[in-house]
Structure 1
Amino acid sequence: MTGTTARPGPTASVLVVGAGPTGLLLAGDLAAAGVPVTLVEKRPHRISNLSRAFALHARSLEQLDARGLADELEAVGRPLERLDLFGRLGIDLAALPSRFAHVLILPQYEVEEALERRAVKAGVDFRHETEVTGLTQDETGVTVQARGPDGRPTTFRAAYAVGTDGMHSAVREAVGLPFPGRSVIRSVVLADVRLAEPPETVLTANAVGDAFAFLAPFGDGYHRVIGWRRDRDLPDHEPATLAEVREITRRALGRDFGMHDARWLSRFHSDERQAPAYRVGRVLLAGDAAHVHSPAGGQGMNTGLQDAANLGWKLAQVLTGHAPDALLDTYQAERHPVGRSVLRSSGGILRLAMAHRPGARAARGALITALGRIRPVRRRVAGQITGIGYRYAAPRGAHPLVGARVPDLALAGGGRLYEALRGGRFVLVAPYAHDVGDRTGRLTAERWASERRTALLVRPDGYAAWAADTADSTEIEAALATHVG
């Protein structure tokens, strides 16, 4: 892919716009699969510590494990086996059916640094200080107009373009997609502070009806504070003060932990929005460009990472000629409902946390009671927040496993499924050895460590593409021809 003032010809490449976690994971996946990819970012090249995300949930950790990154992040983050949402409502994560039965508390920039190193190693072409100004598409590709670091116009040509450029996405606006929704909470303050008396817990959060506060460590001696007060409704441009942050924290948490030496203070508002379509022809959206949620439950960055994991292998299959363009329609079909569900769950948590009317408080009490007494309710809530409870729709008559997240299976020889997925390939797990023929670059064949007789084809994103409880070589070969090419 090249930047030029003339329109280049067709190319089997992808332009990714936006170098946050979603864009970095997607670009790295594409480059690792041999697809030429350029990553355009309007910001200068630096990893910012001003991000709001502080949590990696189990499903995101599984996806990062499939890319060989989870262990290094686990080494710098702090695991939390219980997620306290507000007051007495806590989600026990220790029983999650995952290798990562916790939420990992670490700043977003740690995730970005790991993903960027991987993308650079895979050969992604980075273009920083390059801002998208327009976009057109035709039957063979997408032409993107941009302004480079020197302010001069430049043009990129790609087979597909993906907007991972956040809530104010230039890509989404260029294709004319609306972003319906509304602001759900205003005048949220952010601060990076030192604490004279750090809390004993890794993550500290509480809501009291008219205020809430959240504290999480950076690991460098500073803590990020996020706070809100019902009677303090100011526009985003109004400066936040350390005194204001202290007061909100005292209201919500009972004390301010001796906050001092704020290195950064800001104010923002939280929206709930979702694009009606994640695909318009050869242009696709992922992450905050496609959906934004309240920060409750820490699901924003995680949902974007899982968007990228879903989309990357599909683009690679299409661009390498192993699947038709129609495969990309399944990205919308699978991820749009998940985005809608996250809007509802995170919004529900936020509204219950902010509850001050009797009816809303009664609803919060009922949920707390249900979580304490009814195991299926606990399991469902934990599955939604951590991402491991989502599954994709399967064709009528398909095996029950099809569309489900596949856990980290033990394989013959001592290996694990998510280690086998690190090549970005499909993984066939069968009770006996199967010849993959000329699919060695796209398929890995493994055997169960147990005596299980099911034949299972796992997609590169860790979901079941096909399964059969009894299948001979002919049936397996037919399934591989359909899904792997």
Structure 2
Amino acid sequence: MTDVLIVGAGPVGLTMAAELARYGVAVRLIDRSPHPTETSKALVVWSRTLELMDRMGCTEAFLAAGLQARGASIRSGGTVLGSPRFEDIASPYNFALMIPQRDTERLLAAQLHALGVEVEREVELASFAGSDGHVEARLRHPDGLEEVILTPWLIGCDGAHSTVRHGLGVAFRGSAQGDDWLLADVRLEGPGTPPPDEIATYLHRDGPFVVFPIPGGRARVVATRGPTDLAHPRPDPTLDDVQALVGQRASGFRVSDPVWLTNFRINERKVDAYRHGRVFLAGDAAHIHSPAGGQGMNTGMQDAINLAWKLALVVRGEAAAVLLDSYSPERSAVGDMVLRNAERLTDMATLSHPAAQTARNLALRFLLGLHAVRDRMATQMSEIEIAYAGSPLSIGPGAGARWDPEHDAGSPPGAGGAPRFLLYAADAERGSALAARFPTLLDPTPRTPPDASALFVVRPDGYVGLSAIGSAWDEADRYLQSIAKADG
């Protein structure tokens, strides 16, 4: 019996499958590719994603495989306009973890294997049709044989060209940016090489040039190459092309030993809704955007974590299906925000008018000289400020905000087993009584709140669901009842 069929075994699909399997949900994860990603692709795992990985139990493996970038620099010519640092990010993981996507997939697949689930490769979703009680999916195997399965839930984690999204017939609204971009994974050496724990952006009149450190002494170089000519596509870049851009836009260091040279275009697109009945979209199947800020993979993995605990509670019969109605509004709002921020960063970096470039550089030099601005930039990139204030699951002042991991003294809530809400209340006796009323939703052990006069119900994904002042036991009861009550 398959409770959930997941299409696409990239980082988002692997995260989704691992979380659902951890909660005891029977999953199948299929992917039409014969092998995992072999290139570096998405490179950055940010602070909030690492915090959420604590619940999955795989953070340590990622830290061992990755490189911790401690800051960034923004330069123009020989001038450093500013150097945002990550050390002051209010997270146990106050850095950007640089790790190639092939390693991210390898580690997530190992986590999934430990839970008894394997990726079914060269298995393609040929078609699907939904009804009130299930989804009928037709799968095509590598030998050409077709299999028809019934599954209560289908999740499309199958990327920008998603078969699931196309099958739903939903619009993927947005546009393509007008420039070609170069990507090169190379070694850097010589004078002017940026520090190996820094993301370095060079602003130039012809366009930006960005260097991302990669474990193993390599670096990712990304730069604009000029307007796209769809009638005459550019050939893949050569090492000489990359070296020429270094000489023009950066500080003259040498590049060598390329392992990946390619061109790409930036697309910025998003669906209006992430849920359509018994079918869900997550990651690039729902939203794609500029790589500026390195938010794409993180946003998709957080889509998966958001949906997984809700779907697990519903599949296990421990919450009403109405709980799933919160997934699309919560994550769609985050997707809108990430799109806006990435678009602004890209537009700022690709200004072409000389006067606008001069004004931008002067403004950046002033603003990045302010500690508060540097901290704000680092915090935004880390994603620790993502919140669900407008969610139907957020009740009370400050509800929807991330629950500070420091309140748990190193013991992350919901670290294993079934997904459970956590109660933070000073009256442990009444808290235990409330937990006894909702044993399938609420952890049996109340926690001490950071403020003795407050009561909090924290979601399994570490966000505040209910926030109340004083003796708010009736509010807490109604809140949990709204999630647990029978449909209809």
- TM-score norm. by structure 2 comes to 0.87
1:123: which partner in 2? 116
Tell me the distance in 2 between the aligned counterparts of 1:451 and 1:178: 46
8 Å Cα contact 2:414-2:461 kept in structure 1: no
Number of matched pairs: 469
Q: Provide structure 1 residue ranges, at least 5 long, that are not aligned to the other structure.
A: 2-10
Q: 1:266 to 1:465 in 2, by over 3 A?
A: same
8 Å Cα contact 1:394-1:402 kept in structure 2: no
Following superposition, the deviation at residue 65 of structure 1 comes to: 1.8
Tell me the distance in 2 between the aligned counterparts of 1:237 and 1:231: 10
2:73: which partner in 1? 84
8 Å Cα contact 1:57-1:387 kept in structure 2: yes
| Paired residue type of 1:247 | A
8 Å Cα contact 1:352-1:361 kept in structure 2: no
**1:61-210 equivalent positions in 2, closer than 5 A:** 61-84=50-73, 87=76, 88-197=81-190, 199-202=194-197, 203-210=199-206
8 Å Cα contact 1:189-1:265 kept in structure 2: yes
- The answer to which of 337-346 and 449-458 deviates more is 449-458
Q: Does 1:242 align with 2:236?
A: no
Q: RMSD value over aligned CA atoms?
A: 2.7
Task: Decide which of 405, 408, 418 is 1:408's aligned counterpart.
Answer: 405
8 Å Cα contact 1:405-1:462 kept in structure 2: yes
2:324: which partner in 1? 328
Q: After superposition, what is the alpha-carbon deviation per residue over 1:398-457, rounded to whole angstroms, capped at 9, x for unaligned?
A: 42121111110334xxx4352544444322222243322275564333422866342221
State the identity as a percent: 35
8 Å Cα contact 1:167-1:292 kept in structure 2: yes
Tell me the distance in 1 between the aligned counterparts of 2:289 and 2:257: 30
Q: After superposition, what is the alpha-carbon deviation per residue over 1:257-311, rounded to whole angstroms, capped at 9, x for unaligned?
A: 3322323322211111111221111111111110011011111111111111111
2:42: which partner in 1? 53
| Paired residue type of 1:293 | H
Following superposition, the deviation at residue 125 of structure 1 comes to: 4.8
Secondary structure of 1:230's match? strand
1:31: which partner in 2? 21
**1:433-472 equivalent positions in 2, closer than 5 A:** 433=428, 434-435=431-432, 436-437=435-436, 442-444=441-443, 445-448=445-448, 452-471=452-471
1:399: which partner in 2? 396
Secondary structure of 2:210's match? strand
Q: After superposition, what is the alpha-carbon deviation per residue over 1:134-186, rounded to whole angstroms, capped at 9, x for unaligned?
A: 12111111122232121222223211111111111111001001112111153
Tell me the distance in 1 between the aligned counterparts of 2:285 and 2:277: 16
2:343: which partner in 1? 347
| Paired residue type of 1:463 | Y
2:207: which partner in 1? 211
- The answer to which of 269-278 and 212-221 deviates more is 212-221
Following superposition, the deviation at residue 322 of structure 1 comes to: 2.5
Q: 1:155 to 1:361 in 2, by over 3 A?
A: farther
8 Å Cα contact 1:227-1:249 kept in structure 2: no
Secondary structure of 2:436's match? coil
| Paired residue type of 1:245 | V
Following superposition, the deviation at residue 461 of structure 1 comes to: 1.2
Following superposition, the deviation at residue 85 of structure 1 comes to: 5.2
1:40: which partner in 2? 30
- The answer to which of 69-78 and 79-88 deviates more is 79-88
2:412: which partner in 1? 418
8 Å Cα contact 2:320-2:483 kept in structure 1: no
8 Å Cα contact 2:424-2:449 kept in structure 1: no
| Paired residue type of 1:108 | Q
Tell me the distance in 2 between the aligned counterparts of 1:207 and 1:476: 52
Q: Provide structure 2 residue ranges, at least 5 long, that are not aligned to the other structure.
A: none
Moved >6 Å (runs of 4+)? none
8 Å Cα contact 2:5-2:28 kept in structure 1: yes
8 Å Cα contact 1:380-1:389 kept in structure 2: no
Following superposition, the deviation at residue 396 of structure 1 comes to: 11
Secondary structure of 1:418's match? coil
Q: 1:112 to 1:419 in 2, by over 3 A?
A: farther
Following superposition, the deviation at residue 378 of structure 1 comes to: 5.0
- TM-score norm. by structure 1 comes to 0.88
Q: After superposition, what is the alpha-carbon deviation per residue over 1:173-210, rounded to whole angstroms, capped at 9, x for unaligned?
A: 01001112111153222223233446433233323131
Q: 1:186 to 1:149 in 2, by over 3 A?
A: farther
8 Å Cα contact 1:429-1:455 kept in structure 2: yes
Q: 1:452 to 1:249 in 2, by over 3 A?
A: farther
| Paired residue type of 1:58 | S
Following superposition, the deviation at residue 368 of structure 1 comes to: 5.0
1:303: which partner in 2? 299
Q: 1:359 to 1:237 in 2, by over 3 A?
A: closer
Q: After superposition, what is the alpha-carbon deviation per residue over 1:3-50, rounded to whole angstroms, capped at 9, x for unaligned?
A: xxxxxxxx6x1111111111111111111111111111111233x341
Q: After superposition, what is the alpha-carbon deviation per residue over 1:341-362, rounded to whole angstroms, capped at 9, x for unaligned?
A: 1111111111111112123652
Secondary structure of 2:292's match? coil
